[in-house]
Amino acid sequence: MSEDRFKFFQNKQCEYFPCHKGIKAEEFNCLFCFCPLYPLGEKCGGNFKYIENDVKDCSGCTLPHRPGAYEFVCSKWDEIKELAAANRKDPEENKDK
């Protein structure tokens, strides 16, 4: 068995499992149930669209649930960290974004 078990998790008892279509059930990864890439907006790399009130609709995206998702999310860590740092530096400037 792989020593990388921390990269994959399934919750088959979840009432939404699998929450996105197009991935084999045995490959569906629940690790990033709430996608950490959401705040990256258009730079997330996933299949999304914006709907009313600039809400990002990720219902058509399977990126964080596919094999290799852990590595992809980790590859975006510097961008996530920069976004968090920018919000920390001037919270008043960013509060309406």
Residue at token pair 């929450």: 19
Which pLDDT score, from 0 to 100, does residue 1 have? Answer: 47
Which residues have CB under 8 Å from 47's CB, separation 6+? 58, 60, 61, 62, 63
Greater model confidence, 8 or 94 = 8
**Does 8 score more than 60 pLDDT?**
yes
Mean pLDDT calculated for residue range 71-85: 95
Report the C-alpha gap between 69 and 8 in whole angstroms.
Answer: 9
Euclidean distance between CA atoms 41 and 15, whole angstroms: 27
pLDDT digits (tens, 9 = 90+) for 9-64: 999 999 999 998 899 999 999 999 999 999 999 999 999 999 999 999 999 999 99
